[in-house]
């Protein structure tokens, strides 16, 4: 299962999505220095009224996934489907419909808003692009402002007159006017003060409950997303290493990398589960390690991890994990503690495996 078993209509599905970038060097970029597999065989399902979180350190491919979903980039191979229709060969009339139904809110609330445009114009611009009449535009802008908790009078102001959190509300309002069914939120709160982050996240959650929208919620910080996510996908160097129920993966991580993200997100002094400190840096995307690409940083690395790339495979609790600590026999039979190096049980949080 790619969706943690949660029911609901499928909005977007990625099937073995691959995006490669050829890195050029030399005079006038004449020589290929290598190929970055920014997104490497990634499959997932996003359902109605669901938040699909994508987490992982910088450079693991989160924004590339976002840009593929938003059809701002084309796939190298694989498929992304919107309500069953492939984005790659979508007729232009359907692409227009897609661009209405799938919106984005980006990380930087300063850069994302045109400083010379008044807020009313910024929020109403997508409606203008999609040919809405002036009367309906005004109504939808007012409705969007209400949804994000801003007063109608802000329409005559300019972006610089607002704080970071308010600007992000403006960005969310702009994304809402076309009544999308999916919003891609790429690090929506990373640039905000910690005190403001939860306000914006709570607002997003309220909007989801009210409008039954789905979100792709991207973050390098698990702490920011865990409370409002239904499904979580953990990425490492272009690959999904764990995928499934967000609550389960945060409480009982399966992959050592997920465990280290959980450890990093846990406030000091709280009850430890399976905590793995994150060590070292992410390797260069141009020199992906052999076997499991996490093995140089993994305290449980075995010989097989250096040689064989683990496949993402189903666990008995409906999640998916790509890790040699979970051999097929255990993964497919029943829920036991995973076996570590030399056959020793690993110090996993109770119930994991």
Ligand X SMILES: Nc1ncnc2c1ncn2[C@@H]1O[C@H](COP(=O)(O)OP(=O)(O)OP(=O)(O)O)[C@@H](O)[C@H]1O
Beta bridge partner(s), residue 1: none
**What is the C-alpha to C-alpha distance for residues 339 and 349, in angstroms, rounded to an integer?**
13
Residues 129-188 that bind ligand X (CB under 6 A): none
Instruction: Identify the residue among 38, 106, 225, 301 touching ligand X (CB under 6 A).
Output: 38
Q: Which is nearer to ligand X, 62 or 169 (CB)?
A: 62
Q: Does 285 bind ligand X (CB under 6 A)?
A: yes
Shortest separation between residue 13's beta carbon and Mg ion, angstroms: 22
Shortest separation between residue 22's beta carbon and ligand X, angstroms: 8
21 binds, among Mg ion, ligand X, none (CB under 5 to 8 A by kind): ligand X
From 60-68, 92-100, 201-209, 302-310, span contacting Mg ion (CB under 5 A): 60-68
Instruction: Identify the residue among 62, 137, 140, 255 touching ligand X (CB under 6 A).
Output: 62
Instruction: Identify the residue among 63, 219, 224, 260 touching Mg ion (CB under 5 A).
Output: 63
Instruction: Identify the residue among 14, 41, 44, 63 touching ligand X (CB under 6 A).
Output: 63
Shortest separation between residue 139's beta carbon and ligand X, angstroms: 36
Report residue 317 as tokens: 């609790």
Residues 252-311 that bind Mg ion (CB under 5 A): none
From 2-10, 61-69, 209-217, 330-338, span contacting ligand X (CB under 6 A): 61-69
Mode of pairing for the β-strands spanning 182-186 and 102-105: parallel
Q: Does 220 bind ligand X (CB under 6 A)?
A: yes
Instruction: Identify the residue among 2, 36, 105, 241 touching ligand X (CB under 6 A).
Output: 36
Shortest separation between residue 171's beta carbon and ligand X, angstroms: 17
Contacts with ligand X: how many residues (CB under 6 A)? 14
Q: Which residues bind Mg ion (CB under 5 A)?
A: 63
Q: Which residues bind ligand X (CB under 6 A)?
A: 21, 23, 36, 38, 56, 58-64, 220, 285
């Amino acid at each position: 299962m790619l969706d943690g078993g949660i029911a609901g209509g499928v909005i977007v599905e990625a099937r073995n999505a691959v995006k490669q970038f050829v890195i050029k060097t030399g005079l006038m970029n004449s020589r290929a220095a290598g190929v970055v597999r920014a997104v490497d065989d990634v499959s997932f399902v996003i359902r109605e009224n669901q938040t699909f979180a994508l987490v992982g350190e910088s450079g693991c491919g989160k924004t590339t996934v976002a840009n593929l979903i938003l059809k701002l980039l084309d796939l190298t191979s694989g498929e992304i489907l919107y309500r069953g229709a492939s984005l790659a060969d979508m007729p232009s009339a359907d692409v227009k419909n897609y661009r209405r139904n799938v919106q984005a809110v980006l990380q930087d609330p300063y850069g994302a808003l045109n400083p010379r445009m008044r807020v009313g114009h910024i929020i109403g611009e997508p409606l203008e692009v999609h040919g809405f009449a002036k009367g309906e535009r005004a109504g939808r802008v007012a409705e969007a402002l209400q949804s994000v908790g801003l007063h109608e009078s802000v329409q005559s102001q300019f972006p610089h007159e607002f704080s970071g959190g308010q600007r992000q509300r403006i960005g969310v309002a702009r994304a809402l006017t076309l009544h999308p069914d999916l919003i891609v939120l790429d690090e929506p709160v990373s640039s905000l003060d910690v005190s403001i982050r939860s306000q914006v996240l709570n607002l997003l959650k309220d909007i989801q409950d009210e409008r039954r929208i789905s979100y792709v919620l991207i973050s390098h910080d698990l702490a920011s997303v865990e409370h409002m996510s239904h499904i979580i996908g953990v990425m490492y160097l272009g690959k999904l290493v764990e995928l499934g129920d967000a609550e389960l993966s945060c409480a009982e991580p399966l992959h050592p990398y997920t465990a280290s993200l959980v450890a990093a997100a846990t406030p000091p002094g709280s009850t430890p589960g399976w905590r793995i400190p994150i060590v070292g840096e992410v390797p260069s995307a141009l020199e992906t390690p052999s076997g499991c690409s996490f093995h140089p940083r993994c305290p449980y690395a075995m010989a097989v991890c250096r040689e064989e790339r683990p496949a993402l495979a189903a666990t008995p609790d409906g999640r998916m994990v790509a890790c040699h600590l979970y051999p097929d026999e255990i993964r497919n039979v029943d829920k036991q503690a995973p076996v570590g190096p030399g056959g020793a049980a690993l110090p996993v949080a109770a119930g994991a495996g």
